[in-house]
Each structure stands twice: as structure tokens, then as C-alpha cells.
């Protein structure tokens, strides 16, 4: 069973360009979380999605950021008109459908975004 896959692993963009980060959850997992890690910081929650639904986006910046998890295909975190402050590591985690107790989140290797 492959783990959580993220691509690309490294992404370089110039200011004003768009960044698209992809996350394929573990097989059988229907919940996806995106976290952002700024340099010297812990991970901060951005958005929580199930297939075709955004469950909690309380950590997403109000502008330029969006996320989706379509019925088919990976989850996408999209950042429009990137700025230098968007430079960070973006981690995706997945978990299975809840069975009543908290399910462990399995993390991908991350995408390291650098904005020039």
C-alpha cells in the first residue's frame, strides 16, 4: 500500500505566477488535510476536504488560495499570484473514513515551494 504521494517535491515560481500542488491520499482514505510549514515553525492547518467537499477551510488565507478534492484524481492546492511569503513546505495528510474514534493522519513528503 503506497503512502501519501505529493508532487512535485520541489516547486520554484516567480512572483505573480500560479502554483499547483497535488496530493494523492493513501488507498482507501477519503479525507485529506493540507498543512503549511513556514521556516522554523510547526505545521499549521489550512484546509480539510472529503471527496468533492470542503469540510473546514478555517486555516486558508482568504485570497489567492483554493483547494479541491474531486471525485476522481488527486487533491489540488492552488495558489494564485504567488508572493515571497508563500515560500514554505506544504504537507498533505490523509485519513480513512471515521469509525467513531480519531483516525491517525498519514503525512506525505511535502512540496517545498520557493517563490523568487
Nearer to another protein, 83 or 97 (CB): 97
Q: Which of 13, 91, 113, 115 is close enough to bind another protein by CB under 8 A?
A: 91
What's the closest the beta carbon of residue 28 comes to another protein, in angstroms?
Answer: 14
Residue labelled with grid coordinates 491520499 = 25
Of 115, 55, 50, 57, the C-alpha closest to 89 is 115
Residue 25 in the binding site for another protein (CB under 8 A): no
Residue 68 in the binding site for another protein (CB under 8 A): no
How far apart are the C-alpha atoms of 13 and 30, rounded to whole Å?
30
How far apart are the C-alpha atoms of 54 and 68, rounded to whole Å?
7
What's the closest the beta carbon of residue 85 comes to another protein, in angstroms?
Answer: 18
b/e sequence 35-60, b meaning 16+ C-beta within 10 Å = bbeeeeeebeebbbbeeeeeeebeeb
Nearer to another protein, 81 or 98 (CB): 98
Judged by the rule CB under 8 A, the positions of this chain that interact with another protein are: 4, 31, 33, 35, 40-45, 48, 55-56, 59, 91, 95, 97-110, 112
Amino acid at each position: 500500500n503506497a503512502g501519501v504521494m505529493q508532487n512535485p517535491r520541489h516547486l520554484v515560481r516567480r512572483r505573480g505566477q500560479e502554483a499547483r500542488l497535488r496530493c494523492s491520499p493513501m488507498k482507501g482514505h477519503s479525507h485529506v488535510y493540507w498543512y503549511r510549514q513556514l521556516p522554523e515553525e510547526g505545521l499549521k492547518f489550512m484546509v480539510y476536504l472529503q471527496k468533492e467537499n470542503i469540510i473546514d477551510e478555517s486555516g486558508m488565507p482568504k485570497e489567492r488560495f483554493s483547494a479541491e478534492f474531486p471525485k476522481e484524481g488527486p487533491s489540488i492546492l492552488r495558489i494564485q499570484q504567488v508572493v515571497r511569503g508563500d515560500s514554505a513546505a506544504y504537507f498533505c495528510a490523509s485519513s480513512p473514513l471515521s469509525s467513531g474514534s480519531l483516525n491517525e493522519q498519514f503525512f506525505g513528503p511535502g512540496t517545498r515551494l520557493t517563490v523568487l
